């Protein structure tokens, strides 16, 4: 309701009650100071009673004692009466509801067409904890909080510069979720910042419940197999990203930040890479690239080799495969599909179950189902080994788990039906799709395609910090224009 507040206190209170539909968590405390009727409006559990007493009621009592005649309570509160860093004017009923839902206390004054809202937040939030999805051995052990202000402070602590910018806005027609756009002025191109703001303003969802609500709008490429945005729960990672000229979006109530644009190579980087010597980081990244190929393409290549191209296998291996498959009742391709589906079911069960019993799923799946299936002759031993290697490699890259699952199934059908030709076509289609993807005009496969020489220093081989400090690369130089900083 954009209707202005009424000068009648009782009428304003009635309108607010009507706006909230008589909700029982709306608290209204009436009081009188210096002969002027006032009311404090709060929502249950959103404000601190101790802060209210200290910031509002104590000064009002002093105001009543010092002044013998009624004064302008509104002016007193706005100038020196409330000991709060967040004091705002409210002129409409919409302003009142917005402030109340954000943990503010609103003071309405009889005879005034405006009120005072001040921050007295007292709702419970999750304390700062360790990262749960981006674990590391060295470095920062803090993760973002559910509270937006806390998350913003974690970034500010790592970038103590006035160049760090936070711009807040709201999204969600009903939820009115507060968002904070974070970037470094002078590093993030102004066109990218304006583009992100424009896309966020166009969101017409009723409720913003998580990062998945924003990613389709920030990277609107429905035909892309990979996402042009990434998420992180680590403030140190976010600080490093925005230092490269990226833009981050923090969401109130969500302990993750959306970072755009994202690059394919970033899925193979880890926090510990920057705590070790460059050659150690090179070996670790090489293992991750190999794990990606094995997790997505190994089952398909295994079927292509055994069904369509057995001549490439050594005689001993081929003999063992034939002996193992003779005792199984299913065709090799159907057998592979069954095992992969069972693996995905067990992985999903272990992910959704409580931690106390989640580990039992791996025990049941690995020891009972796996061993019993091989012993009974339903599944061959070589195929179970292939799936075991594939499953282990997929755990190395949790950020690409949805894509790897899809690649695995498509590769099984491509390799099982058309052999190496099918795998070659399948790989080419995925490569072209990734090369065609972009977010905010930054190619997804940068700096490999288009090739940017300076940016390759952090692609597979990470250069030392002595060289890294000399030439700084931002995402603006990765759009194929040839500009490098």
Q: Cα separation of 242 and 407, whole Å?
A: 31
* Sequence-separated (6 or more) residues with CB below 8 Å from residue 474: 187, 244, 245, 485
Supply 139's token pair.
Answer: 């470095």
Confidence check: pLDDT of 342 > 90: no
Confidence check: pLDDT of 165 > 90: yes
Please list the residues that pair with 43 across neighbouring strands: 26
Q: What percent of the chain has pLDDT over 90?
A: 34
Looking at residue 123, what is its pLDDT?
A: 67
Helix (H) or strand (E) holding 201: helix 190-201
Mean pLDDT across 295-306: 94
- How would residue 80 be classed by pLDDT, with cut points 50, 70 and 90? low
DSSP string, 6-65: PSSHHHHHHHHHHHTTT-TTEEEEEEEETTEEEEEEEETTTB-HHHHIIIIIHHHHHHHH
Mean pLDDT across 249-262: 93
Confidence check: pLDDT of 317 > 50: yes
Looking at residue 2, what is its pLDDT?
A: 76
Confidence check: pLDDT of 1 > 70: no
Looking at residue 415, what is its pLDDT?
A: 95
Confidence check: pLDDT of 411 > 90: yes
List the single range of 81-90, 174-183, 433-442 with lowest mean pLDDT. Answer: 81-90
Phi-psi category of 21—alpha, beta or left, where left has phi over 0 and alpha has psi -120 to 50? left
Mean pLDDT across 353-379: 66
Looking at residue 81, what is its pLDDT?
A: 57
CA dihedral sign, ordered 361, 366, 368, 373 = positive
The model's pLDDT over 45-59, given as tens digits with 9 standing for 90+, comes to 787 777 777 777 667
Confidence check: pLDDT of 118 > 80: yes
Q: Is the separation of the CB atoms in 40 and 31 below 8 Å?
A: yes
Q: Cα separation of 178 and 254, whole Å?
A: 11
Looking at residue 275, what is its pLDDT?
A: 84
List the single range of 105-114, 375-384, 433-442 with lowest mean pLDDT. Answer: 375-384
């Amino acid at each position: 309701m954009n209707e202005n507040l009424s000068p009648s206190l009782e009428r304003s209170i009635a309108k607010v009650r009507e706006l909230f539909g008589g909700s029982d968590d709306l608290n209204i405390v009436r009081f009188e100071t210096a002969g002027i009727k006032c009311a404090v409006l709060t929502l249950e559990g959103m404000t601190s009673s101790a802060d209210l007493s200290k910031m509002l009621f104590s000064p009002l009592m002093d105001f009543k004692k010092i002044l013998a005649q009624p004064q302008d309570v509104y002016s007193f509160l706005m100038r020196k009466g409330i000991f709060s860093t967040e004091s705002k004017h409210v002129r409409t009923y919409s302003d009142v509801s917005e402030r109340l839902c954000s943990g503010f206390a609103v003071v309405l004054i009889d005879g005034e067409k405006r009120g005072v809202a001040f921050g007295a937040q007292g709702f419970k939030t999750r304390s700062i904890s360790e990262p749960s999805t981006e674990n590391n051995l060295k470095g920062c052990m803090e993760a973002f909080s559910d509270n937006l202000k806390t998350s913003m402070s974690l970034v500010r602590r790592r970038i103590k510069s006035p160049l760090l910018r936070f711009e807040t806005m709201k999204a969600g027609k009903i939820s009115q979720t507060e968002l904070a756009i974070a970037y470094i002025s002078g590093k993030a191109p102004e066109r990218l910042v304006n583009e992100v703001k424009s896309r966020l303003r166009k969101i017409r969802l009723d409720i913003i419940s998580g990062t998945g609500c924003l990613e389709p709008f920030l990277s609107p490429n429905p035909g892309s197999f990979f996402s042009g945005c990434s998420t992180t729960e680590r403030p140190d990672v976010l600080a490093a990203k925005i230092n490269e000229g990226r833009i981050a979006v923090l969401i109130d109530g969500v302990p993750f930040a959306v970072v755009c644009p994202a690059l394919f190579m970033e899925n193979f980087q880890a926090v510990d890479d920057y705590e070790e010597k460059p050659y150690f980081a090179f070996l670790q990244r090489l293992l991750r690239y190999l794990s990606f190929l094995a997790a997505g393409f190994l089952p398909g290549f295994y079927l292509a080799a055994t069904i369509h191209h057995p001549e490439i296998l050594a005689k001993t291996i081929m003999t063992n495969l034939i002996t193992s498959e003779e005792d199984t009742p299913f065709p090799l391709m159907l057998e592979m599909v069954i095992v992969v589906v069972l693996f995905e079911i067990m992985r999903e069960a272990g992910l959704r179950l409580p931690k106390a019993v989640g580990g039992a799923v791996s025990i049941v799946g690995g020891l009972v189902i796996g061993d019993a299936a091989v012993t009974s002759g339903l599944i061959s031993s070589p195929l179970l080994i292939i799936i075991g290697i594939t499953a282990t490699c997929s755990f190395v890259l949790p950020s690409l788990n949805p894509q790897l699952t899809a690649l695995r199934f498509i590769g099984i059908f491509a390799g099982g039906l058309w052999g190496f030709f099918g795998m070659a076509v399948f790989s080419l289609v995925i490569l072209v799709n990734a090369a065609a993807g972009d977010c905010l005009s930054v190619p997804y496969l940068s700096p490999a395609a288009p090739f940017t020489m300076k940016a390759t220093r952090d692609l597979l081989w990470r250069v030392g910090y002595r060289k890294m400090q000399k030439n700084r690369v931002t995402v603006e130089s990765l759009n194929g224009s040839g500009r490098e900083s």
